[in-house]
Structure 1
Amino acid sequence: MTDTPKQQLKETDRLPSSAWVRFLRSYGPTPNNLTLFDEYVLGALSRAKVQPIHLSTPWLEKMALHIDSKAPGSLLIAGTAGDGKTYHCRSLWAHIGGAPKVWAETGSVKEHRLTDGRLAVFIKDLSEFNGEESDLPLQRLEKSVLGKDDSEVVILAANHGQLLDRLRDLERRQGRDHPLRKPLQECFLQTGPPPDRLAVFDLSRTTSRETIDEISKVVAGHAEWDNCLHCSLKTTGKVCPIDENRRRLLGESDGGQLVRRLGDLIEVARLNGLHLPVRDLLALCSNMILGYADPKGAKENLMTCADVPKIQENGQISKASIYSNAFGANLPKRRISQRPIFLAMASFGVGEETTNAADGLLVYGKDDLKLQTDFERLVALDPIYGATVEFRTAQDGYLEGHEGARLEGNFSEFLEMLEAQRRRLYFTLPEAEPGYPHWSMTAFRFAGDYLAAIESLKGKKSVSENTRGRIARGLNRVMTGLLLENADRIFIASSGGFTQSRVSVLCDHETPARRQGGVGMAIRLDEETGRPQLDVSLSPGPGNSVAFDLTPIRYEFLSRVAEGSLPASFSNECLEDLLAFKAKLLRMAEIVRKGGSDSYDDDLGEDTSALTLNFIDIEPGGRGFTRPVTVRLPA
């Protein structure tokens, strides 16, 4: 039943931020996902009568400059779902003087006469045209771009895949190769320039650490939160979880550490090849502030102001933990699977990953004299989401319960609380905390070194020797299948044939782990992807090297192997990638030998009845070395 205006007035007086919170909630991971549509946002703003969320739009400024420059041709706004294509389209319409009322009218094509006489044709979203209906707007685009018709400038918004699919369909029905499809495909893959007379603005290339930093500040620092100063939910020492979470997201209690570490996760996900659109990052921030782990306490696991009094009364504020909300722990698994951002956050395993030291602190810290200081400093200091009354009670029950009860799993509630505490520790552990490195609470335990290596390369500096040595050890162990400790050289080994043997003891070639005189391994920054790239050169001069794209998961794989993990126990996909890299190096080694440009060779000498093979042996301590063995061939 809909509230009467009188009831709404009372709620607004008593809970002055309620309209804003309801609007922000619509950005969250609700089942209906209404903010998938730009039109819904406009309607919601009108109903809520709140100020909108304004984000910087650097692409919009470039689009406006392009239109204002009177450059010939048309404009394509490309991206994936949630990148803001329709928003940019609408904003550009407003920039050229288009009437908001006309934009709001039904119809997917909007036209506006520019001051220079050209007709601006806005195609709001290609997905609104079914099948052959898209022929007409694509023909107008083709006429402008390929036909060099300057009477119109077409502004087309479209998903990458959808646009390419429509162009392929045109090719099939018209029996020709569409001249725009291949150039656009290469442009989307970042391997080619855009077609002539078509300015391409690809919004999918914009999401980064800076994006989540801006969104968190804009959402948590929005002017509508000022109304909370007069809210009854904060009187007499009460804690409002909504206000608490937005203050923590704003960085008031930790100097912004929470958002920096959130940015680290977003950056690792991006470098692993995952694109997270602005819409998803807005959903993440909304969920961090409004998320609640009990649907009985908050409908659809997202709080409104009206939910808070009951949550306060029941003493269950900890279920609103911003640290758990960041990983979607408040959401049903089905809803997590519907949003790439929460799948990405869950993939880090925060809450499940841990160390003996961290769990020892959380379980025994309050009683163990050696851990009490750390417990007070790292856990008890936070009475809202850390050492809460509920946590201490469950902890006492776990410690005082008999062993049989623990084995029977009667302490599932405490174990769930442990997961929540691990998530909190990831965000709250101080930098370089001795004994409790925060990356150890994730599945990417070496991600900190990986990100540090990128920063070094951006600053035109070498990566640390620890990182370089770990990469070399990992490569050696994958290429040979032996537990080698060498960090100064790389062995390119085979098993003596073309088998898929994982253990290779014949060294075809060895090269320094640091580039010297044009030979050896160099670690460079790929400007296109932003990732480090291994470049292993087997001989001076161009054309004698093999490159390997070092993604975060590949670096994690090499690091785990370097520290003693078995290759097949972490990621078969990573192992196959490394073995393919090894195969390329073996082929390059053969090319270099046949070209006579390398000092290492199968030394037949003048005696063609003998063959020298280099076997890899291991000294005590794990250091590998090559041992030549001469084999006599039958006459």
Structure 2
Amino acid sequence: MMQNLINPFVKFVKQYDISMSDYTKIFDEYTETVQYEVESEINKTIINLMRSKPSSIIITGNAGDGKTRICRNVYENLTGVQLEKWDPKGIEEIKINGKKIRIIKDFSELQDNVINQELVRLQNAIANQNECYLIAANEGKLTHALVKNPELKALYDIVTSQLSDRTAPKPQNLHIYNLLHTSSSIYALKILQEWNKEGNWKTCGACKQQRKCIIYHNHNKLKEKNVQVLINRIYRSLDASQTHMTMRELLIQLAYVQIGGLSCEDIHQAKGEALQEQACKVYYENLFGHSASADFFEKIPGFMEIKKYDPGLLSNSKVDDFIFNGDLSGDDSAEEHDRLFGVNIDTEYGYFKQELYQYRSLYKTDENLGLALANNWLPRLRRKYYFESKSSLPVATSNEKSMIAFKFRQDFLKILKNEMVDPVIQKSLIRGLNQYFAKQIVYSPTNALYVVNENLFIYRIIEFSSFRWNVEKKDRDLDYAASSICLEVDGIQLKINLLLFEYLMRLANGGLPHILSDDVEILINNFKNKLIRSNDNKDNILEILKYNQTQDAYVLRQITVNGQGLNEVDLEPEFD
């Protein structure tokens, strides 16, 4: 006989609910045993290095990036002993292959004089190789301590060289691993996959409340590969816009995506309006914070960034028409419409269809049912359609580009995946830079870049063949997924992330210059300033951009000053 059951895994996930009065277990310092560990390659890399060839290691990053957890994992892996409680001093010592290893789980907890003593000892250890360190330290605290003591200059030089360049060679006796360089998308996907293994949800299969349980519904959707891919693509977008989410932030948010702040007891007790409220705690609403309290997502900046990729906010005529009218065709569309928007827990057990029918039948003509229907259901069902549509209907084939505000996001992620910038994209980016520099529509048939001032005087012309295009390489051992393109000319580089890529591609395709401008202006202006150099043309030659009415664009003109006056030459061919 089926009965109400409590799933211990739901209780585990619930501990990441920061609205609870006690959520200390999300901090490693208060953890006695580790359950459901999220494996990371950087964790394996550090353990393998310490086991095979012990060297001093400093792990930096933000609070919540998992520095202390890695220290715990190294201790337990090398000693074979479970670390139930950290030493009150925050320092543990172990021996491996005859070498002593000092583990400092958090530099910020130590007094300044102790930090100085340990850093001096570390510097000596690097030189003498008599012991090694594993230190977890926030970057600011570490560099501040090094700067204060001139005797630590040798250590300072080693540390800062690695902090400033992720790809810098690591000296044999000291390795710096900055967890700020790890990619959120890698961990997000691992968490989704690990949490939604069927073994974690066996209890729910025998619970009599499973049909009305939004938590179990979320699991059944989140275990689907297509849903995982689309959610992870949103986290890849964060990577590509240089937005870093710590491991703790990911666990907090994905716990909310999974259970919406609910518990098994909440499900068992729900009746009437409570059931309707729980139906809104579906994963695609939780992901963008639409089912959360007003201040929940404001606590962590990365949560707000995710909202930029919300498919529910952007109107799409084909998708919206399908949501409201897709069941009227009598063909495959009707079957797909019923699968998505029929009697399901997240459509409030068919309440959407009921309201849709009332609207069509002109029920309560004195009320604007169409507006209420659009406000209450349309954004939510756009999200459902985005993540769960599986049909080959024409409306479903282009939803990735048409439902996310970043129209060129897929192109950028494809470049990162293939590690190559297509020549067509290269030309569009140069065209976008020309439009930004000149603040006008520029015609350049040779795809040259014109570095101009506000008066359209040309400082420099850079031919298309002079540019070098590089795509960042992924680094599996450090949990790093490529996130940017580098445009280089004469040693001057422009790092192009997703935001800048989107901006330039929009400009190249007729977009307005103020959209996203706040996010990219500093990057582009710095690049432009580095490109500007003294005019190396002869004193009697000026190059400018001048409007051509026939071509309806600004074109390159050369003005020669001689004894007979001004001679203006059109340097670009006419349109065909």
Length-normalised TM-score, structure 2: 0.82
SS of 2:103's equivalent? strand
SS of 1:334's equivalent? coil
Q: Is the 8 A contact 1:209 1:263 kept in 2?
A: yes
Deviates more, 1:315-324 or 1:348-357: 348-357
**Which residue of the partner structure matches residue 24 of structure 2?**
34
SS of 1:55's equivalent? coil
* CA shift digits 1:66-123 (9 cap, x unpaired): 333354x52323332222222221121122226436745544122234451x333222
SS of 1:180's equivalent? helix
**Quick one: distance in 2 between partners of 1:110 and 1:229?**
44
**Which residue of the partner structure matches residue 215 of structure 2?**
242
**Quick one: distance in 2 between partners of 1:39 and 1:67?**
22
| Pairwise CA distance, 1:549 | 1.0
Q: Is the 8 A contact 1:186 1:193 kept in 2?
A: no
Identical-pair percentage: 19
**Quick one: distance in 2 between partners of 1:96 and 1:81?**
25
**Which residue of the partner structure matches residue 423 of structure 1?**
383
Q: Is the 8 A contact 1:145 1:196 kept in 2?
A: no
* CA shift digits 1:163-194 (9 cap, x unpaired): 223333x42xxx65643234323312326444
Q: Is the 8 A contact 1:531 1:549 kept in 2?
A: no
| Pairwise CA distance, 1:321 | 1.3
2:140 is equivalent to residue 161 of structure 1? yes
Query: What amino acid is the match of 1:233?
Result: Q
**Aligned pairs, number:** 552
Q: Is the 8 A contact 1:365 1:371 kept in 2?
A: no
| Pairwise CA distance, 1:478 | 1.3
SS of 1:265's equivalent? helix
Query: What amino acid is the match of 2:387?
Result: F
**Which residue of the partner structure matches residue 8 of structure 2?**
19
| Pairwise CA distance, 1:410 | 11
SS of 2:290's equivalent? coil
2:441 is equivalent to residue 483 of structure 1? yes
**Quick one: distance in 2 between partners of 1:622 and 1:379?**
48
Query: What amino acid is the match of 1:489?
Result: N
The structure-2 alpha-carbon separation of the partners of 1:580 and 1:111, relative to structure 1 and needing over 3 Å to count, comes to: closer
**Quick one: distance in 2 between partners of 1:470 and 1:381?**
44
The structure-2 alpha-carbon separation of the partners of 1:381 and 1:484, relative to structure 1 and needing over 3 Å to count, comes to: farther
The structure-2 alpha-carbon separation of the partners of 1:361 and 1:374, relative to structure 1 and needing over 3 Å to count, comes to: farther
**Which residue of the partner structure matches residue 203 of structure 1?**
179
Deviates more, 1:373-382 or 1:241-250: 373-382
| Pairwise CA distance, 1:244 | 1.3
Which residues of 2 match residues 363-382 of structure 1 at below 5 A? 363=324, 365=326, 373=334, 376=337, 379-380=340-341
Which residues of 2 match residues 473-512 of structure 1 at below 5 A? 473-484=431-442, 489-495=447-453, 501=454, 504-507=455-458, 509-512=460-463
Q: Is the 8 A contact 1:426 1:439 kept in 2?
A: no
Which of 263, 283, 299 is equivalent to 1:322? Answer: 283
**Which structure 1 residue ranges, 5 or more long, are not aligned?**
1-9, 46-51, 292-301, 496-500, 538-542, 595-600, 605-609
Q: Is the 8 A contact 2:100 2:132 kept in 1?
A: yes
Which residues of 2 match residues 325-336 of structure 1 at below 5 A? 325-336=286-297
* CA shift digits 1:337-361 (9 cap, x unpaired): 2224422312334432333443444
**Which residue of the partner structure matches residue 570 of structure 2?**
none
The structure-2 alpha-carbon separation of the partners of 1:311 and 1:270, relative to structure 1 and needing over 3 Å to count, comes to: same
**Which structure 2 residue ranges, 5 or more long, are not aligned?**
475-480, 566-576
Deviates more, 1:75-84 or 1:623-632: 623-632
| Pairwise CA distance, 1:273 | 1.5
**Quick one: distance in 1 between partners of 2:8 and 2:67?**
27
Query: What amino acid is the match of 2:141?
Result: Q
Deviates more, 1:617-626 or 1:446-455: 617-626
Which residues of 2 match residues 133-144 of structure 1 at below 5 A? 133-144=114-125
| Pairwise CA distance, 1:380 | 2.8
Which residues of 2 match residues 108-257 of structure 1 at below 5 A? 108-114=90-96, 116=98, 118-146=99-127, 148=128, 150=130, 152-168=131-147, 170-171=148-149, 178-190=153-165, 192-194=168-170, 197-221=173-197, 223-234=199-210, 238-251=211-224, 256-257=225-226
**Quick one: distance in 1 between partners of 2:375 and 2:471?**
42
**Which residue of the partner structure matches residue 97 of structure 1?**
79
Q: Is the 8 A contact 1:98 1:112 kept in 2?
A: no
Greater relative contact order, per chain length (Cα 8 Å cut-off, separation 6+): 2
**Which residue of the partner structure matches residue 273 of structure 1?**
242
Q: Is the 8 A contact 1:240 1:312 kept in 2?
A: no
The structure-2 alpha-carbon separation of the partners of 1:102 and 1:364, relative to structure 1 and needing over 3 Å to count, comes to: closer
| Pairwise CA distance, 1:414 | 4.8
Which of 571, 582, 592 is equivalent to 2:528? Answer: 582
Query: What amino acid is the match of 2:308?
Result: S
Query: What amino acid is the match of 1:86?
Result: T
**Quick one: distance in 2 between partners of 1:103 and 1:534?**
46
* CA shift digits 1:363-388 (9 cap, x unpaired): 55556999965972784368343596
* CA shift digits 1:550-603 (9 cap, x unpaired): 11000111122223232124323423432433343342xx56xx3xxxxxx55x
SS of 2:407's equivalent? coil
Query: What amino acid is the match of 2:48?
Result: L
**Quick one: distance in 1 between partners of 2:344 and 2:144?**
55
**Which residue of the partner structure matches residue 572 of structure 2?**
none
SS of 1:376's equivalent? helix
Q: Is the 8 A contact 1:532 1:549 kept in 2?
A: yes
| Pairwise CA distance, 1:144 | 1.7
The structure-2 alpha-carbon separation of the partners of 1:105 and 1:410, relative to structure 1 and needing over 3 Å to count, comes to: farther
| Pairwise CA distance, 1:216 | 0.9
**Which residue of the partner structure matches residue 67 of structure 2?**
85
**Which residue of the partner structure matches residue 65 of structure 1?**
48
2:502 is equivalent to residue 556 of structure 1? yes
2:308 is equivalent to residue 308 of structure 1? no
Length-normalised TM-score, structure 1: 0.76
**Quick one: distance in 2 between partners of 1:473 and 1:231?**
60
**Quick one: distance in 1 between partners of 2:564 and 2:392?**
62
**Which residue of the partner structure matches residue 411 of structure 2?**
449
**Quick one: distance in 1 between partners of 2:111 and 2:284?**
43
SS of 2:314's equivalent? coil
2:383 is equivalent to residue 383 of structure 1? no
Q: Is the 8 A contact 2:40 2:187 kept in 1?
A: no
* CA shift digits 1:413-466 (9 cap, x unpaired): 851432222332332355997455323333322101111122232xxx55262x
**Quick one: distance in 2 between partners of 1:623 and 1:200?**
51
**Quick one: distance in 1 between partners of 2:179 and 2:6?**
33
**Which residue of the partner structure matches residue 574 of structure 2?**
none
**Which residue of the partner structure matches residue 607 of structure 1?**
none
Which residues of 2 match residues 511-590 of structure 1 at below 5 A? 511-513=462-464, 515=465, 519=466, 521-527=467-473, 530-533=482-485, 535=487, 537=489, 543=490, 546-587=492-533, 590=534
The structure-2 alpha-carbon separation of the partners of 1:491 and 1:340, relative to structure 1 and needing over 3 Å to count, comes to: closer
Query: What amino acid is the match of 2:546?
Result: I
* CA shift digits 1:490-528 (9 cap, x unpaired): 340535xxxxx3xx5445555554x3xxx3x44321348
**Which residue of the partner structure matches residue 616 of structure 1?**
546
The structure-2 alpha-carbon separation of the partners of 1:349 and 1:101, relative to structure 1 and needing over 3 Å to count, comes to: closer
The structure-2 alpha-carbon separation of the partners of 1:450 and 1:106, relative to structure 1 and needing over 3 Å to count, comes to: same
- What is the CA RMSD across the aligned residues, in angstroms? 3.8
